[in-house]
Amino acid sequence: MKVLVLGGDGFCGWPTSLHLSDLGHDVTIVDNLSRREIDLELEVDSLTPIRPIGERRRVWQTLTGKEIGFVHLDLATEFDRFEALLRELRPDALVHFAEQRAAPYSMRSTAAKRYTVDNNVRATHNVLAAIVDSGLDVALVHLGTMGVYGYGWSGSAPIPEGYLTVKVPTPDGDIEREILHPANPGSVYHLTKTLDQLLFAFYCANDQLRITDLHQGIVWGTQTPQTALDERLINRFDYDGDYGTVLNRFLMQAAIGHPLTVHGTGGQTRAFIHIRDTVRCVQIALENPPVRGDKPLVFNQVTEVHRVRELAELIAKLTGAEVAFLPNPRREAVENELNVSREKFLALGLNPIFLSEGLLEEVREVALRYKDRADPTKIIARSVWRQGMETSPDLMRS
Ligand code: NAD
Ligand code: USQ
């Protein structure tokens, strides 16, 4: 299969590109390298020493004989170039990772809010419009988020995979309808993913595009078998207050002797997936596309659910780290339950990796190996959801 991986230089996109190339697919990465520029803006770097994209591709080719193409292109602003690329390469499928993906970054300033909306919504719409314009029958797999559902709306009922059956009262009695699950975004970033969903619904209905939307939970881990082949293929590891996600952050904090930064009571319950399962899920989604005329196919890309406080306790027990309960910089439910349907990937053969399987130790080892690259002043989350919210002091004793 010829696949374009949009956002293929990022944390999920790079290991997915290698995984698909390893399976024999013809992969081309399309990326504007904006994530690397945001590192410069935030004056922080991946904990792992990621190499330039050209070097990454050269090393992969030397080790495996397989070539991965690369096109430096901004999907939000370079529509004509992207459309021409589709006509030239005529891919069978696109995997779309190319969005600004951090909730705290999206809330840090008015400029960041505007950038996140402009970048994400325009990129997604340009991809859809270019597919229509090209006249190609390309399957699109998009990385969405569990955060489109929000945390609390469904109460104890399981969150379905995308659609909810509702009863609508009419004068002649109730009728049943299947609707997109109501959106309840908790940040400007999550808001853009709920807007993506409407774009997909429209383009499926109007142009019969074939679209799969993967509502992914928080990704943890860093290496896959392919990124671990050579240090020059290593995946990125974000640990800073904007881009670092909770479980990888806790593991990195434990490695450098920083107290684990629990926001509020840590009663937030979230869905998780290991990066090795992310790449397998994308593969499964590519192998099982919807047919023309279907509405968007939605999968919940989640393997387990945990409460933040319990993760901190688990890592504290494993490593002896201290746990710090900090003022929560976000506006989010203090405590929530989360019950997620995740049958579809299991039915298609996903054999999930769980936290209990020893990979926590692997992430900890990566964090320990590169701990000298960490800047402790970048750990505390400083982006607040509203002006005037309290932020935390630095916790590192030097
Ligand atoms: P990332 O920031 O590491 O990667 C995104 C990539 O897209 C970067 O390489 C960036 O340069 C590129 N990009 C952004 N805007 C672009 C544009 N306009 N044109 C071309 N390239 C552009 O993020 P990630 O963690 O790999 O996440 C990938 C996708 O998966 C995102 O859409 C994110 O919302 C989703 N997701 C991530 C997680 C997670 O925990 N990391 C969880 C759920 C969903
Ligand atoms: N949290 C802490 N301490 C920290 C960091 C986070 O307590 O040091 C808490 C947050 O307050 C939040 C929870 O942990 O309640 C998760 O935060 P996160 O930063 O790990 O994840 P989130 O902001 O939700 O975003 C990440 C990815 C995003 C993806 C999303 C999936 O950055 O791209 O869409 O996970 S989901 O959470 O399922 O919506």
- 343-391 pLDDT per residue, tens: 999 999 999 999 988 889 999 999 999 999 999 999 999 999 998 888 8
Provide the whole-model pTM. 0.98
Residue 48's domain comprises: 2-396
Percentage of the chain with pLDDT > 70?
99
Atom 3 (ligand 1) nearest CA: 10
Expressed in angstroms and rounded, the spacing between residue 242 Cα and the centre of ligand 2 is: 10
Q: Are 101 and 142 in contact (CB under 8 A)?
A: no
Residue 93 pairs with which residues in a beta bridge?
3, 139
> DSSP for 310-370?
HHHHHHHHHH---EEEE---S---SB----B--HHHHHTT-----GGGTHHHHHHHHHHHT
| Residue 355 exposure: Cα atoms within 13 Å on the Cβ side | 21
3-state secondary structure 353-378: CCHHHCHHHHHHHHHHHCHHHCCHHH
Ligand 2-lining residues (CB < 6 angstroms) = 101-103, 145-147, 217-218, 245-246, 249, 261-263, 266, 268, 270-271, 308, 328, 330, 332, 381
Query: How would residue 393 be classed by pLDDT, with cut points 50, 70 and 90?
Result: confident
167 assigned to active site: no
Rounded CA-CA distance 371/253 in Å is 9
Q: What is the DSSP letter of 119?
A: H
Q: Quote the pLDDT of residue 154.
A: 63
Say yes or no to pLDDT of 104 above 60: yes
Token pair of 16, please?
């997915």
CATH number for the domain spanning 200: value is 3.40.50.720
The count of domains in the chain is 1
* pLDDT value at residue 391: 82
Cβ(28)–Cβ(69) below 8 Å:
yes
Closest by CA to 268, choosing from 237, 225, 220, 311, is 311
Instruction: Give, using CA atoms, the residue closest to atom 42 of ligand 1.
Output: 218
Exposed/middle/buried for residue 80 (C-beta within 10 Å: 0-12, 13-18, 19+): exposed
pLDDT digits (tens, 9 = 90+) for 268-324: 999 999 999 999 999 999 999 999 999 999 999 999 999 999 999 999 999 999 999
pLDDT band per the 50, 70, 90 thresholds, residue 156: confident
DSSP 216-283: E-EEE----TTGGG-GGGPPP---STTT--HHHHHHHHHHHTPPEEEETTSB-EEEEEEHHHHHHHHH
